[in-house]
Amino acid sequence: MNGKTLQNRLVIATGMWREATDEPLPKLPSGDPAEQIQEFELRLVDLLCREATPSTAREVAERTWDLVQDRPDGDPVRQKVVECHDALAKLSTGTFGASTE
């Protein structure tokens, strides 16, 4: 992955983090920049999905999809977004945590 792509991903994720919370940006261990950005994006998706409410679920789904729409199916952040979308769909329909029996 080229430096420009990584920079764009970092700028987008940082902006989304700052819009979503007053928490400081997470500290990440030293390492490969691509892995650091991926870890940051995973934390961002976790934060957005954890903080979602029935009234914000649709917006969170749209924002998280914007983060990964052009990535391959095997991308870990995209996979996390898909998992998040399943939970958001249940949350928005009021079935989150409901029994399937």
Dihedral sign for Cα atoms in the order 13, 65, 46, 77: negative
pLDDT digits (tens, 9 = 90+) for 10-41: 999 999 999 999 999 999 889 999 999 999 99
pLDDT band at residue 101 using 50, 70 and 90 as cut-offs: very low
Amino acid at 71: R
**Residue 24 CB: number of other CB atoms within 10 A?**
8
Task: Give residue-wise pLDDT tens across range 33-85.
Answer: 999 999 999 999 999 999 999 999 999 999 999 999 999 999 999 999 999 99
Query: pLDDT value at position 96?
Result: 46
| pLDDT score at 95 | 55
Instruction: Give the C-alpha separation, 43 to 26, whole Å.
Output: 8
Q: What is the pTM of this model?
A: 0.86
Cite the beta strand spans of 3-98 per DSSP E: none
User: How many other β-carbons are positioned within 10 Å of the β-carbon of residue 59?
Assistant: 13
